[in-house]
Amino acid sequence: MKNIILKNRYTLLVTVLTVYIVVLVIEGFITGRQAQVLDFENPFFDLNIKDLEGLRERRA
Amino acid sequence: MSNIVEARALTKTYGSLKALDGINLTIPTGAISGLIGPNGAGKTTALKALIGLCDVEGELNVAGMDPRAARHKLMEDVCFIADVGILPKWFKVSQLIDYVEGVHPKFDRIKTGEFLSTTDIPANKRIKELSKGMVTQLHLALVMAIDVKLLVLDEPTLGLDIIYRKEFYDRLLNDYYDGDRTIVISTHQVEEIEALLTHLNFINNGEIVLSAMMTDLADIYTEVVVDPEQIAQADALNPIHIRELLGKKSYTFESVPKAQLQPLGEIYTPSVADLFVAKMKDSRHE
Amino acid sequence: MNKFHLLQFHALLQREILEHRNMFIMAPAILAGLILLFSVWAMTRMGQDTVSISIEYMALLFDGLSPLEMAPMFMIPAIPFIGIFYFCAIIYLMNSLYQDRQELSILFWQSMPVSNLNTVLSKLVTIGMVAPLFYIATMFALYVIALFWLAILGWSYDIEVAGLGYMFLAAVVSLIFVYLSIVTTALWLLPTIGWVVLFSAFAKRTPILWAIGVFILVGFLEEFIFGTQFLGNFVQSRSTPTQYLILDFQDVVERLINYDMLFGIMVGSILLAGAVYMRRFID
């Protein structure tokens, strides 16, 4: 196991980052942290070609 | 005599390039062992592996430790000088000495001072202001003041002029070597160190192609300037190398009894340089 | 940890300071010099009346305040120092395990009997605890000069500047707050520091691009695999500047011992452990 992780810099990096993100996610679920805070609004995400008028209104 | 270095089947690959291809290397305690090979033969990789500066596969034991597991412990007993100026350029000479004194338990500051007083190196200059020869001298001054079991030198005199080169090896032999310490030197310039060595290792394409004591070389290898009428017989004895010499052909043999060679012509012991050329060509054909 | 190990660690810290003397000693000194020059220039532009009114105003402002109450006001001049410090800290951490690999001096460092763990720890202690001391010392010198100057001005304009001693105490207290702020912030941001140091040890070139690029990539992968954004959330929850200042001694314990701080130190240590092991791969 140790040999695989320490085989080269890439395997080590992937292992470390995997452990890190898994710990973050598990902790997040256990403590019930708000998982989605980066809920930024971008008018282009719901771009609808047929609704150009609506877009113009929203952006104005 | 025990061995300070024992390496079995060391392998190191960089992508598809095999820098070390299953090297076996033993270095007895107290030896001055040369690791000689052309550029790119794997010398530096092999030496770095010995001191844990390079991750390799295979069995490795240096001064009773596995360098990969305990580099910093090993470094209390091993010193290293590399072919490139690796001393940090922003250090002043005196600050560098302070640093080594601080981190190395076996460093003797007085010895370094004594050594430096015989050189032109000023203590208040930064390392980047020193010439390459001076940097090497400084590194040697540090290393000679550390009481270690094994000193590893990777092309230590590369790029230095002849005066520095000669002085470097003189000092090493006279002021440092005491018969208990072990020195490993890599180089591609055989002539320069052949008088120093007790053991010889040739390395080519990541493989050790010759490993012998200097005193045994004369027994194992024979060079014969073959008389023209004996050439067919000489060819039959599997020479490892043939070269033209003043219109005659000179054959190099490995492990062929001298009595058998005597009738073929004049017998010599090959110089290390000739042997090197012979072995490099020989290993290329295999 | 015996005596030799302490001395060895001291040598490692000394090495860091010497190598980065521009960032740790010159930068704050130049900043202090500029502030002094600017103050002198501003004084010469002011009329005599303005100067005397200003001094009186200041004397009035501080009148009746205890040093502890005055201290936050003395932290205002510290802001540019803290700004420069954080800027230098980012550069320092980015280069911490990268530069020596670039210039090959790593072969020398690694040929000394210093473990990778101690090397990494020495860099963290340097930036989190030792380097700030140089900034504090420079600010202290600046405050002493300023107070001295104020005393002379007050005397020459014949205004009684009461409480100069209290002001001095307030300056000292404010510097202690600045120091405590930097140290607690270093611990609070340990996950970020760990991330930067990990990529400093990993990248063969441009560690900053690796650090940012992989952060975005991991963020996307997290959302893709788990459908969550805990990574982005985690970083964002630690990046409000108000979290970085300590203005009261009671704050310190509160900031240091709480679940979020300890969890941050824990996950930061995962990344730092990765950086320690990454030091094996130097070629």
Chain B hits for C283, CB-CB cut-off 8 Å, are 14, 48, 54
Q: Give yes or no for a contact between C84 and C178, defined as CB atoms under 8 angstroms apart.
A: no
Task: List phi, psi (to 5°) of C5.
Answer: -65, -35
Q: What is the DSSP string of B87-143?
A: S-TTSBHHHHHHHHHHH-TTB-HHHHHHHHHTS---TTSBGGGS-HHHHHHHHHHHH
pLDDT tens, B195-227?
889 999 999 988 898 899 998 988 899 999 888
Residue B1, pLDDT score: 52
CB contact under 8 A, C15 and B54: no
Per-residue burial over C53-63, b if 16 or more Cβ lie within 10 Å, else e, is eebeebbeebe
Residue A44, pLDDT score: 45
- Whether residue C198 lies within 8 A of chain A, CB to CB, comes out as yes
Q: Where do we find the tokens 């000679």?
A: B144
CA separation for the pair B147, B145 (Å, rounded): 6
Q: Give yes or no for a contact between B137 and C49, defined as CB atoms under 8 angstroms apart.
A: no
CB contact under 8 A, C14 and B79: no
Q: How far is B79 from chain C (nearest CA, A)?
A: 6
CB contact under 8 A, C233 and A38: yes
pLDDT tens, B87-99?
999 999 999 999 9
Expressed as residue numbers, the domain containing C110 is 3-278
Chain B hits for C103, CB-CB cut-off 8 Å, are 88-89
pLDDT tens, B16-47?
888 899 899 999 999 999 999 888 888 889 99
CB contact under 8 A, B55 and C281: yes
A6 secondary structure, DSSP code:
T
- Whether residue C115 lies within 8 A of chain B, CB to CB, comes out as yes
Range in B24-38, B248-262, C176-190, C255-269 the model is least confident about: B248-262
CA separation for the pair A46, C99 (Å, rounded): 46
- Which residue among C8, C104, C116 sits closest to B86, beta carbon to beta carbon? C104
Q: Which residues of B touch C (CB under 8 A)?
A: 14, 48, 51-55, 68, 71-76, 78-80, 82, 84, 86-91, 95, 98-105
CB contact under 8 A, C107 and B51: no
pLDDT (mean) for C218-226: 92
Strand partners, C60: none
Crossing angle (nearest 10°) for helices C116-125 and C190-202: 130
Q: Where do we find the tokens 């596969």?
A: B57
pLDDT tens, B175-197?
888 888 999 999 888 888 888 89
Q: Give yes or no for a contact between C273 and A18, defined as CB atoms under 8 angstroms apart.
A: no
CB contact under 8 A, B103 and C111: no
Residue B146, pLDDT score: 94
pLDDT tens, C54-97?
888 877 777 778 888 888 888 888 999 999 999 999 999 999 99
CB contact under 8 A, C222 and A25: yes
CB contact under 8 A, A36 and C278: no
The H-or-E segment that residue B251 falls in is: strand B248-254
Q: Residue C184, class by beta-carbon neighbours within 10 Å (0-12 exposed, 13-18 middle, 19+ buried)?
A: buried
CB contact under 8 A, C108 and B88: yes
Q: How far is C109 from chain B (nearest CA, A)?
A: 8
Residue B96, pLDDT score: 96
pLDDT (mean) for B163-173: 89
Q: How far is C243 from chain A (nearest CA, A)?
A: 18
Question: What's the mean pLDDT when you consider all of chain B?
Answer: 89
Q: Give yes or no for a contact between B77 and B63, defined as CB atoms under 8 angstroms apart.
A: yes
CA separation for the pair B237, B253 (Å, rounded): 8
Q: Give yes or no for a contact between B53 and C110, defined as CB atoms under 8 angstroms apart.
A: yes
Crossing angle (nearest 10°) for helices B109-117 and B132-144: 140
Residue C202, pLDDT score: 96
Q: Give yes or no for a contact between B187 and B36, defined as CB atoms under 8 angstroms apart.
A: yes
- What does R_g of chain C's alpha carbons equal in angstroms? 23
Q: How far is B71 from chain C (nearest CA, A)?
A: 7
Chain B hits for C10, CB-CB cut-off 8 Å, are 102
- Whether residue C273 lies within 8 A of chain A, CB to CB, comes out as yes
Q: Which residues of chain A have pLDDT under 50?
A: 37-45, 47
Spell out the residues 6+ positions from residue C223 whose beta carbon is closer than 8 angstroms to its own. C229
Q: How confident is the model at residue B122 (pLDDT cuts 50, 70, 90)?
A: very high
Residue C113 resides in a domain: yes
Residue B31, pLDDT score: 93
pLDDT above 70 coverage of chain B, percent:
98
Q: How far is C7 from chain B (nearest CA, A)?
A: 6
Strand partners, B186: B35, B154
Fold held by B3-205:
Rossmann fold (3.40.50)
C48 vs C82, residue with greater confidence:
C82
- Whether residue C102 lies within 8 A of chain B, CB to CB, comes out as no
CA distances in angstroms from C127 to B154, C13, C253, listed in the order given: 35, 10, 21
Residue C108, pLDDT score: 94
Q: Where do we find the tokens 């190196």?
A: B121
Q: Residue C113 pLDDT > 90, yes or no?
A: yes
Q: Which residues of A touch C (CB under 8 A)?
A: 6, 8-9, 12-13, 15-17, 19-21, 23-25, 27-29, 33-38
Q: Give yes or no for a contact between B86 and C105, defined as CB atoms under 8 angstroms apart.
A: yes
3 state SS of B4 = strand
Q: Residue C118 pLDDT > 80, yes or no?
A: yes
Spell out the residues 6+ positions from residue C198 whose beta carbon is closer than 8 angstroms to its own. A13, A16, C211, C271, C272, C274, C275, C278
pTM for the model = 0.89
CA separation for the pair B190, A57 (Å, rounded): 83
pLDDT (mean) for B120-143: 92
Chain A hits for C280, CB-CB cut-off 8 Å, are 6
Q: Give yes or no for a contact between B266 and B225, defined as CB atoms under 8 angstroms apart.
A: yes
pLDDT tens, C194-214?
999 999 999 999 999 999 999
Residue B203, pLDDT score: 92
B162 vs C28, residue with greater confidence:
C28
Nearest CA in chain C to A21: C231
Question: What's the mean pLDDT when you consider all of chain C?
Answer: 91
pLDDT (mean) for B252-277: 87
CA separation for the pair B136, B184 (Å, rounded): 17
Query: Which bin fits B130, alpha (ψ -120 to 50), beta or left (φ > 0)?
Result: beta
What is the value of ipTM here, to two decimals? 0.90
Spell out the residues 6+ positions from residue B3 whose beta carbon is closer than 8 angstroms to its own. B26, B27, B28, B29
Residue A59, pLDDT score: 60
Strand ordering across the sheet containing B150-154: B78-81, B150-154, B182-187, B32-36, B199-204, B207-213
Residue C283 resides in a domain: no
Q: Give yes or no for a contact between B46 and B152, defined as CB atoms under 8 angstroms apart.
A: no
Chain B hits for C100, CB-CB cut-off 8 Å, are 88
**Sequence ranges of the domains in chain B:** 3-205, 216-285
3 state SS of B247 = coil
CB contact under 8 A, C236 and A38: yes
Q: How many CB pairs under 8 A join B and C?
A: 80
